[in-house]
Every structure is written in structure tokens, then in C-alpha cells.
Structure 1
Amino acid sequence: MTMRAWIGYGGTFDPIHCGHLAVANAVRDALDADVHLVPAADPPHKDATHADASHRARMVELAVAGERGLRVDRRELARDRPSYSIDTLHEVRAEVGRETPVVWVIGADSLAQLHRWHRWRELFDTAHVLAAGRPGFSLDPAGFAQVDAELAALIAARLRPLASLLDAPSGGIALLPMEPPRRESSTEIRRLAAAGDDGWRGQVPSPVAAYIDRHRLYARALPA
């Protein structure tokens, strides 16, 4: 059976939260294809993670259990080198062949920083990029000229309707507004957990909350 598309949604997921799931489900529904959540081992463009890779991947597995069309792809966790999206996409392209559409899902905040990614121009030789709305980050293409002129020009040249991503193997950019944008934040979840404030619990699926409690993942260490 021919695969409709390979869709990947990468991130540290430290921890995964309900906003991540909302984006993954929206992409799945919009493109009528499975979405692979890809926990990063050591993303070079972010600070060090707070929970180790095995915990973060397990939380993703707990979060997607029972969710139709959401899968976990652990390929980046096996690497003993920095984890770059372009390397993942080259691996996927080799697996699915030249004609299958490959889509890499990012947040609007990441789209604004795309020109800082490792070998970022190569992404479009291998995959499409789908940017989902995030609070505080506009998806208005005109606004990217204030960020970087080359990035703005590339977005303008490659922008296409979301559904048309499945008409070609790679090369496009599409936008997925989340209205209203999801406000969950892994940083805020960690801050609240470290402070002993239970306000974080509603931001994550209940099995993830139980896992965080069981392993005391983000609890502030007590003085020796």
C-alpha cells in the first residue's frame, strides 16, 4: 500500500503537553495522514533538556496512546551526535522513496528562526515545512521581512495552500493557524512543577502528569 505522506513533528517534548497534541491532531485531520512525533536527543539550537531522552520519549508514548493516527518515532534518540532535522529528513526520504510527500511540522516561533537552522535551505529539497500558529508569533508572511530578508523571500516563493502539500514530494511551505493558539508551555510546566504549584497538571495528559510525579522529573532538588 502506498503511503499517503510521511509527516514528522519534532521537538524536545520536555514535557509533551496538550498543545503539542492539539497541533498533531490538527495536522493529522487537515492532511488525512498519520503524524510521527519525533523526540529530539540533543537539539543543537536549544538549551540542554531537563528530562533525559528515555523519559521524554516515554511521556510522548503515554500522551499518544489511544490517539488515532499519532505515532512515536525514536530515530533521533539513537544518535551519538547532535540531532539535526535535516539528517532526520534525509533518513526518512531514503526510506519512503522520492515520490512520497514528506512534511516537517514546526511552530511559528521556529519558522521565524528557520534561517538559523543547520543547512536550512536543504530542508526544501527533502520535505515541505508546515508551520503551526503559536501565541505571540504571527503567521503573516509579510512580517518575516522584519526578521530576515532571505527568509521572507523564501517563504513568499514557496508558500502554498496546506492541502497542496500532498501534490508534490517536497519544496513547499504551508501555514496552519491554531485559533486561538494553544498557550501550553513546556517551560512554564517545568517552572510550576519545580515550585510545587499544581497549576501545570491541566496542561498535560493525565498519564503524563502521573509519570512526572512518579519520577519527580521537574521537582526542584532539595538542598543537601
Structure 2
Amino acid sequence: MEIIGLFGGTFNPIHNGHIALAQSVVDALHCSQIRFIPAAIPPHKAIPAVTAQHRANMVQLAIADHPGFILDTCELDRQGASYTIETLHLLRHRLPDLSLCLIMGQDSYQKLPSWHRWQELLDYSHLLIVHRAAAEATLQLHAPHADKLVDIAQAASQFAAQTHGLVSYLPLTPPDVSSTHIRAALGQGDTVIEAMPEKVLYYIKENHLYQS
């Protein structure tokens, strides 16, 4: 069974760290696709000053040269807050026979009980928690779904064997880059060439985004 990775976020803006993380998930789970899903109205953050359409356009530019990376605008196409559970419900309806895997950072996972209908996430997808290696013991100790835990060494085969319901951890050393730092640097006139795809940087300059 194919595994589809679901990578949501504001992508404000998308950067090389996002691309590297998605590729690491592909390598670990042998996903046939990674769907980048920009949030229109993020429930746990302030609404970005840059429009959802601009953020989606930047995602499309960033992933254009990566086969298997796809822009999914389902959260931009509906009204209201971009609740993950509603996105999963929609995608499960569209992809009933595929294994869906929601990619989540450790910071989001630790706040999971504050999410809208978080108890239902595993009814529609697997969870892959991406984290720093040193944090794994703490994550497992506080895991809301400890009984569903699968070791990352066996995750690809077990995720492919069923459409949803499992949790695994993927330890990574993320690049030293963040959207927050990029926005600050761009606001000060820095180019941040090494932090993001060249096409995205050109788009930002062309559309005068993130300027003070």
C-alpha cells in the first residue's frame, strides 16, 4: 500500500529546512508522495500578514523540482480555521485506500491535547513525530498514543500495511533555519540566499513580501 505523507504548516515562508525534512520522511517511510498543505487560518498562530495564496505560490515554487512533492490547497479552499482533523477527514474521503501519514514536529506533538478533536487523528491517519534525537525519551513518556507506538525501523512496513492508526518517531538534526528568522532577516534587507530556494527568494522580492 502506498504511503502519502501530509506536511501541513503556515510555510511563512517555506525554506530549505522544510524541504530537507520532507525528504527525510520519504527516505524513512518510502512515501510515494509528500503533500504540502499550507494553512489558510492557522488555529494556534496569528494569521500571517502574507496571504495564503502567496504562501501557497511559494510552496509550489520550492517543490517544483522534487518529484513526489505536491501542493495541496485543500485548507485554502474551505472557510474557517484550518483544523487538521477536518483536513484528514477530507483526505481520507478522497484517498480511502491509501496509508496517510501526518508529519508533526515535536513542539506540536507536545501541545497535541490543545488541538481540535485531537483524539480522532489516528482514526484517519498515522502520525510521524519529527524530533531531535535527545528528546525521544521525553516524547514517549508523554505520548498520548503510547500503545500505538511503532519503532522507526519497522514503520515503513507497518504504515504500509494499514491505512491509519499508528505512531512513530523520526529523529533528525534539523537545519539551523526557521521562518521566523527568515522573516526578520528579510525585513532588515538581508538576502538569506542559503536558507531558501532561489525561486522563492525571487518571488519574495518580486512581490515585496516581508519588507519593513
CA distance in 1, matches of 2:95, 2:48: 30
1:50 aligns with 2:58: no
Are the counterparts in 2 of residues 102 and 169 from structure 1 also a CA contact under 8 Å?
yes
Are the counterparts in 2 of residues 194 and 218 from structure 1 also a CA contact under 8 Å?
yes
Per-residue CA deviations over 1:46-104 (Å, capped at 9, x if unaligned) read 1221310110000000000111211110111011111100000000111111x421111
CA distance in 1, matches of 2:5, 2:197: 22
Matched with 2:149 is 159
Structure 1 residues 66-75 or 3-12, which shifts more?
A: 3-12
Matched with 1:38 is 37
Per-residue CA deviations over 1:123-174 (Å, capped at 9, x if unaligned) read 011111111125xx954143564xxxxxx25242221032222222111111
Regions of 4+ moved over 6 Å: none
Q: Paired residues, what number? A: 207
Are the counterparts in 1 of residues 6 and 35 from structure 2 also a CA contact under 8 Å?
yes
Matched with 1:26 is 24
Matched with 2:11 is 13
Check 1:114–1:138 CA distance in 2 against 1; reply closer, same or farther (3 A cut).
farther
Alpha carbon RMSD of aligned pairs, Å? 1.7
Aligned positions of 1:95-106 closer than 5 A: 95-97=94-96, 99-106=97-104
Check 1:129–1:143 CA distance in 2 against 1; reply closer, same or farther (3 A cut).
closer
CA distance in 2, matches of 1:141, 1:118: 26
Identity among equivalent positions (%) equals 38
TM-score under structure 2 length normalisation: 0.91
Matched with 1:148 is none
* Paired amino acid for 1:19: G
Matched with 2:126 is 128
* Paired amino acid for 2:17: G
TM-superposed CA distance for 1:197, in Å, is 2.4
Check 1:159–1:139 CA distance in 2 against 1; reply closer, same or farther (3 A cut).
farther
* Paired amino acid for 1:174: S
1:195 aligns with 2:180: no
Check 1:68–1:167 CA distance in 2 against 1; reply closer, same or farther (3 A cut).
same
Are the counterparts in 2 of residues 39 and 56 from structure 1 also a CA contact under 8 Å?
yes
Check 1:139–1:126 CA distance in 2 against 1; reply closer, same or farther (3 A cut).
farther
- What residue ranges of structure 1 are gaps of 5+ in the alignment? 146-151
Check 1:94–1:141 CA distance in 2 against 1; reply closer, same or farther (3 A cut).
farther
* Paired amino acid for 1:21: I
Matched with 2:208 is 216
TM-score under structure 1 length normalisation: 0.87
1:77 aligns with 2:81: no
* Paired amino acid for 1:211: Y
Check 1:16–1:153 CA distance in 2 against 1; reply closer, same or farther (3 A cut).
closer
CA distance in 2, matches of 1:21, 1:143: 24
* Paired amino acid for 1:96: L
Check 1:155–1:142 CA distance in 2 against 1; reply closer, same or farther (3 A cut).
farther
State the SS of the aligned residue for 2:76: helix
Of 124, 136, 141, the match for 1:140: 136
CA distance in 2, matches of 1:160, 1:139: 16
Check 1:215–1:153 CA distance in 2 against 1; reply closer, same or farther (3 A cut).
closer
CA distance in 2, matches of 1:95, 1:63: 25
